[in-house]
Amino acid sequence: MTATIVGWAHMPFGKHDTETVESMVVRVTREAIAHAGIEAGDVDEIVLGHFNGGFSAQDFTASLVLQADDALRFKAATRVENACATGSAAVQQAVKTIEAKRAKIVLVVGVEQMTTTPGKEIGRNLLKASYLPEDGEIEGGFAGVFGQIAAGYFQRHGDQSDALAMIAAKNHANGVANPYAQMRKDLGYEFCRTESEKNPFVAGPLKRTDCSLVSDGAAALVITDVETGLRMKRAIAFRATAHKQDFLPMSKRDILKFEGCSVAWASALADAGITLDDLSFVETHDCFTIAELIEYEAMGLTPEGEGARAVKEGWTQKDGRLPVNPSGGLKAKGHPIGATGVSMHALSAMQLAGEAGGIQIKDATLAGIFNMGGAAVANYVSVLERIK
């Protein structure tokens, strides 16, 4: 254990017409610093996760964090980006800086504003997280990429429409109790399973309820070394982290296996000295329901091709063998690209601190987080444990 989360902030995700990237960054920065019980001047370094990709005209954003407090002036501030895993890239950059003993306190902020962008442009921006020579003309944009993955999975392992609807219904039911979630509505299995005017097919076998939401939002973390963390009110330690990058072209790998996800999970669990069964819950990257299904297999919850068992037999429910996405996941919570990984860590820290309110998992002691960029290209895993 080399780093701890000692404070956080998380604004509700959704459509925020009156906010800007700058205002959201300033808001969560101030709240996270206050929550950690430190002064802005105590921060040694700042890491901002901001994908952008065309969503924001302002494309040099690291220094926007300084707008929160004049005492942040002249602090080192860097923007990082790794597609939909941008938030976790920022988190792990902070952990590495602390491991290298170049800082004791690092502020991590993740942000994205997507809803002010026209729909077709949103699709083009998101498709930049795929390999354009192969995927650039796929109908439906990034949903089309995962529609192809879902179709391939169905061809290899049988129609999984029931399982996908169960995943969507589970995550929407969980999201009802999450005050930060964009959609706090229990849609129910039948609605998610049935094609309708409100739930049409979007790409391949994926319906609207199989796709995460276009969102605005921000989240922030204060991360310290362990010695500093143990002097704070709360300390949620990184028991292990892993980052495994895979080929960008899907043609160079078996996309139905999410091998980078598997390798990242295996590495993090080995480093933590635990097994999957030791985890109290997992927050995983359900950008599309087919992603969560395949991630069950990649993390080792079920054998290959049997991911449907995990949801059909109730293993991943809040009271199941391994609760998955008690927050509602990206599916209900929303997916503002740069903020997602930071959000996952903040919500997991809340769980371990016993501060998660209605989404609280009873007696949570160990959290697993999986955040990915692209179609299982950038693969980040964290294992968190409360030490104070």
Considering the chain, what is the average pLDDT of its residues? 97
How many domains would you assign to the chain? 1
Do 311 and 167 form a contact (C-beta atoms < 8 A)? yes
Q: What is the pLDDT of residue 139?
A: 85
C-alpha span between 303 and 234 (Å, rounded): 37
Could you please report the per-residue DSSP string of 183-250?
Answer: ------HHHHHS--SSS-EEETTEEGGGBPPP-EEEEEEEEEEHHHHTTSS--EEEEEEEEEE--SSG
Residue 28 resides in a domain: yes
Question: Is residue 140's pLDDT more than 90?
Answer: no
Measure Cα distances from 256 to 50, 166, 172, 204, 261 in Å: 28, 20, 25, 15, 11
Specify if 360 maps to a domain: no
Residue 248 maps to a domain: no
User: Does 104 reside within a domain?
Assistant: yes
pLDDT confidence bin for 247, thresholds 50/70/90:
very high
Segment 203-222, tens digit of pLDDT: 999 999 999 999 999 999 99
CATH number of the domain encompassing residue 222: 3.40.47.10
Predicted confidence (pLDDT) per residue in 26-70, tens digit: 999 999 999 999 999 999 999 999 999 999 999 999 999 999 999
**Residue 372's pLDDT is what?**
98
Does residue 84 fall inside a structural domain?
yes
The proportion of the chain whose per-residue pLDDT surpasses 70, expressed as a percent, equals 100
Average pLDDT over residues 357-377: 97
Check residue 236 and give its pLDDT.
98
Residue 343, helix vs strand vs coil: helix
In a domain, 157, yes or no: no
Q: Which of 332, 237, 327, 219 is nearest to 283 (CA)?
A: 327
Domain that holds residue 103: 3-117+214-231
Return the pLDDT at 254: 97
User: What integer is the mean pLDDT of 101-117?
Assistant: 98
Name the band, by pLDDT with cuts 50, 70 and 90, for residue 3: very high
| Average pLDDT of the segment spanning 123-127 | 91
> Is residue 227 in some structural domain?
yes
Residue 266, token pair as written in the block: 């295996």
pLDDT given at position 168: 98
Q: Give the three-class secondary structure for 58.
A: coil
Can you give the pLDDT at residue 369?
A: 99
Inside any domain, residue 41: yes
Contact 369, 384 (CB under 8 A): yes
